[in-house]
Amino acid sequence: MYFDLLWQSFRDYAWYLGAELLHPHWGNYVYWLLGLSIAVYLLELALPWRANQARIRQDFWLDGFYLFFNFFLFSLIGFYAISNVAVHAFKDVLAWIGVKNLVAIEIHTWPVWAQLLTLFVLRDFIHWNVHRLLHRVPWLWEFHKVHHSVHQMGFAAHMRFHWMENVVYRTLEYVPLAMIGFGLQDFFLVHIVALSIGHLNHANVRLPLGPLKYVFNNPQMHIWHHAKQLPQKHGANYGISLSIWDYLFGTAYVPQDGRDIELGFEESEAFPRKWHQQMVHGLWRPAGKRPLQDRTLVIQSSTAEQPLT
Ligand SMILES: [Zn+2]
Ligand SMILES: [Zn+2]
């Protein structure tokens, strides 16, 4: 039964994607991703923050590939199908223990703008928490290293991340969002807004927001998230679209202009540079080899280290 559902989800999605590509329209993800990427890239070329950074920066094409891989091939094709199955299995388990309905607040009766705003803010807060976990739990940090292996920043670095991050984020956001009546197929507009902010946060542009910087994440803040040297052992500035969580919970860190700071993590030069190596990184521990030291493990004693599963 689950296999049929998986197969049907794949087929539906392949059909949907084909139709999307053949018929450009305003609700089309493919063209939005392309259009937004080109627009932010043009902004980088016109008003670069680091003027001496090459136009085709280090890992430009690798990250360009990630952009499409993480947005479609995995996030929307693979995971869409897998999540459908996971959600059904999850509901079956809930029904089995006697929980019929997870919805705590019936948000569909609210005006659309209030639904969108709630979804945007709540989802961002969940993502802020998941991001903190990615930095704090050693085996999750191994996956998240892919995103932090960027040494030269540009918009496409936004989508350089391990496919397991999709699994972690989607799984952990499902229950709280389901409780207020949102499904996994959340609203298009929220996705597009988050995509635009994420692209800008990683772009080689200066975006002075004035007092709004306490609400919205921005390139001047997010670059410090990628800083190689940080005073806090688990990092800072975990905000995805909003910076407000970091200011509220004391994890904001922008000591000075971070335009030219060194990016990466401890020993990030030795991190695999090829896509296929990065995709399997962290899935198992190489036989007889300790994982690369990271900034968490450097500070923790070896007894505190948790085994990779
Ligand atoms: Zn991070
Ligand atoms: Zn980042």
pLDDT in tens, 165-212: 988 887 788 777 777 777 655 577 888 899 999 999 999 999 999 999
The closest alpha carbon to 49, from 305, 233, 259, belongs to 259
Residue 93 lies in a domain: yes
Residue 309 lies in a domain: no
CA of 110 to the centre of ligand 2 (A): 33
Q: What is this structure's pTM?
A: 0.80
- CA 245, CA 214: separation in Å to the nearest integer? 9
CA of 200 to the centre of ligand 2 (A): 10
CA of 113 to the centre of ligand 1 (A): 30
Q: What is the per-residue pLDDT across 38-90, written as a single tens digit (0 to 9) for each? A: 999 999 999 999 999 999 999 999 999 999 888 776 555 555 555 666 667 77
| Sequence letter at residue 173 | E
CA of 201 to the centre of ligand 1 (A): 13
The closest alpha carbon to 146, from 128, 158, 155, 136, belongs to 158
Residue 134 lies in a domain: yes
Domain that holds residue 77: 2-304
DSSP reduced 3-state for 199: helix
Residue 50 lies in a domain: yes
Distances (CA, A) of 220 to 203, 210, 225, 240, 289: 10, 12, 10, 13, 37
CA of 99 to the centre of ligand 2 (A): 38
- Domain count for the chain: 1
Residue 15 lies in a domain: yes
Task: Please report, to the nearest 10 degrees, the dihedral formed by the alpha carbons of residues 42, 221, 157, 144 taken in order.
Answer: -170
Q: Which residues pair with 263 in a beta bridge?
A: 227
